[in-house]
Amino acid sequence: MRRLLVILVTTLAAGLVASCGGGAKDTPAPTTTPPPARATPPGIAPDLQKKTGALPAGTEPPTGGTLRLLWSDPPTLDPALVSDTTSAGIIVEAFNGLVALNTDLQIVPELAESWTISGGGTIYEFKLRKDIKFSNGDPITASDFKYSLERALHPDTESSVSEIYLGDIVGAKGVIDGRGKVTNVAGIEAVDDRTLRLTIDSPKAYFLAKLTYPTAFVVSKRNVTQSGQKWTEKPVSSGPFVISEYKIGQRITLSRNDSYWGRKPYLDKVVLNLAGGQAMAMYENDEVDLTGVGLADLERVQDPSEPLNKDLVTIPPSFSISYVGFHISKPPFDDPKFRQALNHAVNKELIAEQVYSNLVIPAYGIIPPNFPGFSDKTQGLKFDPDKAKQLLSESKYADKATRPRIIVTIPGTGGSPSLDIEVLADMWKRVLDVDIEIQQVEWATYLQDLNRRRLQVWGGLGWEADYPDPQDFIDILFYSESAGNHGLYKDALVDANVLAARTEQDVRKRVQLYNEAEQRILNSAAWLPLWFDTDSKALIKPWVKNYRFTPIIVEKYRDVYILK
């Protein structure tokens, strides 16, 4: 999923806060690369399984209670616009699509009870569940899905991600490029009230997985058209929760959707605290039920004599990477040798050990460990100060006096820059005598500037997978015509591999194509990869049951219950 996430020291340490293929009897299993086998489900740590426990067999969890979390104001609550984890973590709870990823990262039926694939893998026909409704009681039909998908693609919606996730559908690009003159997408057909047919331009192994992303979620046409741009202030829901309250800078309240098609949530509410504060203090004061553990508190909470130790759990790594991005058409980043010099000047091993106490894994690739398509044979540019100096001297920007000004933009509101960027700036200065300026902008503005490709260099950022397929990293982020290619990277051989991988049905060949492309991207230093996630720590109140930490953002609050 195109989920951009802010990388702060506490989230690097804790990995927290800002996510059965088929259904029909004759439906082929989806051909997206499956997640690797694990000893335990991918979203829950062994010690958390022990602590949360399970009710006796046949016992239904109690209904009621409120889950309290620390959050941030989301840039959007519109499924068509979401491009970050802060927004996505709310939207997946309030809206549904045809299919979803469950907490084991399997593609499962959601508002569609089944589907069939025909036409050589280009025609997907979905049968909607009977009697599904929006939270206002209106029925959800195939026409609502057609409206929602076409709305996401329409230029007036100004979605930066609709082409990424829906652009495979026949006719989608005509709507995107039509400047509002074209509204009908030929490949989206409401056959009848319960049947939706999607036709894509060629067979693609990952297409079904793409439909788990919020751009494919259904919204109420009546809600949107009657309320206009303010519709998200009182959104009509299609998911297990409704957004019953949103006070900017204070809180968002998710309440049980009594019109939800499936089993209703056990919780009455989920309250997201937007006011900020010291997470650990708020946890200790019983203001929130869950918090990540930062470096400053790690040693204390790991002490068995510390009362908080009984609440301590281990969080498995997320499928994400943090990085510094370069706009390669903007000087001095148009010179590969200059970009390579910056990569070789950074001692990631030292930073991981001395700054982050080995709570991060230095990243020398793009695809995270244990993710489908990961290869330990793929190697990026490692710390080599002599080589860094040599490459700088050979670049067009060796002369500091004539070198263009370098501005690194990070999300923030005027506080201290993230520790990553301060350390990188120091290393670039000491090794190469390259000076940078750090510019902070508010999160929503940051995303807008990034999507419009206005930034020269950007940091404090990560990419979290949307679905378990390497296409979500290599294609979305580096294909020359992808809207997610924020640095305008272009390589003919990378493009050729990406295009071939889109329709290659042999999983091994697909992975090989992505690995070859990944190596070329790393060699040319299109990015400065920084960190992969590793096991981290969190505190969770003993009365919170069945909360699962997942490496990808998926709906999860419906299964949580409070047991006091």
- For the stretch 165-206, pLDDT in tens is 999 999 999 999 987 778 899 999 999 999 999 999 999 999
Residues 285 and 391 in one domain: no
Residues 105 and 201 in one domain: yes
Question: What is the domain range of residue 13?
Answer: 1-19+38-93+239-316+536-564
Residue 25 belongs to some domain of the structure = no
The tally of domains found in the chain comes to 3
Residue 327 belongs to some domain of the structure = yes
pLDDT at 54: 60
**Residue 45 pLDDT exceeds 50:** no
Q: With pLDDT > 90 as the criterion, what percentage of the chain qualifies?
A: 82
Q: What is the DSSP letter of 115?
A: E
How far does the chain reach from its first CA to its final CA, in angstroms?
Answer: 36
Residues 206 and 246 in one domain: no
Is pTM beyond 0.85? Reply is: yes
Confidence of residue 8 (pLDDT cuts 50, 70, 90): very low
Which CATH number is 372's domain given? 3.10.105.10
Last residue of a domain, one of 212, 230, 248: 230
Residue 112 belongs to some domain of the structure = yes
pLDDT at 279: 94
- For the stretch 104-151, pLDDT in tens is 999 999 999 999 999 999 999 999 999 999 999 999 999 999 999 999
Mean pLDDT of 63-73: 97
Residue 532: what residue type?
F
Last residue of a domain, one of 230, 255, 289: 230
Residues 481 and 365 in one domain: yes
**Residue 59 pLDDT exceeds 70:** yes
Residues 476 and 437 in one domain: yes
**Residue 40 pLDDT exceeds 60:** no
Q: Calculate the average pLDDT of the chain.
A: 89
Pairwise CA distance, residues 203 & 302, whole Å: 50
Residues 355 and 458 in one domain: yes
- For the stretch 304-344, pLDDT in tens is 999 999 999 999 999 999 999 999 999 999 999 999 999 99
Last residue of a domain, one of 202, 230, 258: 230
Residue 302 belongs to some domain of the structure = yes
**Main-chain phi, psi angles of 474, to 5 degrees:** -70, -45
Confidence of residue 4 (pLDDT cuts 50, 70, 90): very low
pLDDT at 53: 52
**Main-chain phi, psi angles of 411, to 5 degrees:** -75, 140
Beta bridge partners, 437, equal: 407
Mean pLDDT of 67-96: 96
pLDDT at 265: 98
Which CATH number is 557's domain given? 3.40.190.10
**Residue 32 pLDDT exceeds 50:** no
**Residue 411 pLDDT exceeds 70:** yes
* Tokens describing residue 41: 């489900």
Residues 203 and 252 in one domain: no
Pairwise CA distance, residues 7 & 419, whole Å: 10
CA neighbor of 253 nearest in space, from 235, 229, 276, 277: 235
**Residue 52 pLDDT exceeds 60:** no
pLDDT at 453: 95
**Residue 21 pLDDT exceeds 80:** no
Q: With pLDDT > 70 as the criterion, what percentage of the chain qualifies?
A: 90
Pairwise CA distance, residues 552 & 105, whole Å: 8
Residues 301 and 340 in one domain: no
pLDDT at 322: 95
Residues 440 and 498 in one domain: yes
Which CATH number is 136's domain given? 3.90.76.10
Q: Which of 12-16, 167-171, 398-402 comes out lowest in average pLDDT? A: 12-16
Long-range contacts of 368-371 (CB under 8 A, 24+ apart): 368/317, 368/318, 368/319, 368/320, 368/321, 368/465, 368/532, 368/533, 369/317, 369/532, 370/36, 370/38, 370/317, 370/319, 371/35, 371/36, 371/319, 371/465, 371/468, 371/470
The answer to whether 473 and 482 have CB atoms below 8 angstroms apart is no
Residue 170 belongs to some domain of the structure = yes
pLDDT at 511: 97
Residue 459 belongs to some domain of the structure = yes
pLDDT at 418: 74
How many alpha carbons fall within 13 Å on the CB side of residue 367? 29
pLDDT at 9: 30
Residues 499 and 445 in one domain: yes
Residues 417 and 498 in one domain: yes
Give every CB contact of residue 191 below 8 A, 6+ residues apart in sequence: 125, 142, 197
Residue 28 belongs to some domain of the structure = no
Residue 31 belongs to some domain of the structure = no
Q: Which of 51-65, 373-387, 473-487, 532-546 comes out lowest in average pLDDT? A: 51-65
- For the stretch 360-399, pLDDT in tens is 899 999 999 999 999 999 999 999 999 999 999 999 999 9
**Residue 231 pLDDT exceeds 50:** yes
* Tokens describing residue 367: 């695809």
The answer to whether 19 and 484 have CB atoms below 8 angstroms apart is no
CA neighbor of 17 nearest in space, from 540, 484, 492, 560: 540
pLDDT at 357: 83
Residues 45 and 106 in one domain: no
pLDDT at 7: 36
